Amino acid sequence: MKIEDFNFNTGKRISIELGTQLQIKIDGIDFNSTSTLIGMEPDKYLIINAPATLLGYAKQKLLRGSKILVRYLYKGSAFGFKSELIEDVYTPLRLLFVEYPEIIEVHNLRSGERINCVLPIKIKINNDERNGVILDINKNGCRCVAKKAEDDKELSSVEIDEQVTLMCQFPQIAGEHAISGKVRNIRRDRKQMTLGIIFHNIQPEIEDIIGRYMLAIKEFPE
């Protein structure tokens, strides 16, 4: 099959825009890949870039009929659907043609639902900084935990509405990112302190990173 055999039709579409970043998982390949939607024929197929990670050894496992799980973000919601590989084309462009989805699962990430996670962070409160972990997160806030010693006065003095900065490094995203927030609730015991934090003055690019992270760990049926 040649690339000219396909009509790059962008007529009636599912809830997605051309250029949307996709996360794809292909049966038989142990890792997720990132791709981009570049075209479609409604009710027939979607056209996506073949990720560089699928070259070499992984390319040998790409077969017609291979099962594919696709995830993406669109207007504050996470979408996921199952598909199959129809054809892969590598000349003149590296493209994958996958079946147009019949059923799409949608999760509203703008709701109050939080996604469970284990994301190592640095927590900065006043002049104190220590390691911690985010236990759940959405675009509005998170719940995190920091261990403490019995004589830890800095953590023991944290109060509601205290300003806090979380230094996060998200998987597969370069660099450390600062997220500002306020403490909304506190739970202490002898070993640790758990903080409920609401984000504020969050930058759009950080909000997008959080959304992509939530998408990556959101449970969709395999």
pLDDT digits (tens, 9 = 90+) for 112-161: 678 889 999 999 988 788 899 999 998 889 999 987 755 565 565 788 88
Provide the pLDDT for residue 14.
81
Inform me whether the pLDDT recorded for 92 exceeds 70: yes
Alpha carbon distance, N-terminus to C-terminus of the chain: 29
CA distances 58 to 1, 95, 145, 171, Å, are: 21, 15, 39, 21
**Residue 64 to residue 84: CA distance in whole angstroms:** 8
Please say whether the structural domain 3-108 has been given the CATH code 2.30.110.10.
yes
Residue predicted with more confidence, 93 or 109: 93
Provide the pLDDT for residue 111.
57
**Residue 4 to residue 35: CA distance in whole angstroms:** 21
Confidence of residue 171 (pLDDT cuts 50, 70, 90): confident
Inform me whether the pLDDT recorded for 4 exceeds 50: no
CATH topology of domain 115-217: Thrombin, subunit H (2.40.10)
For the chain, the domains span: 3-108, 115-217
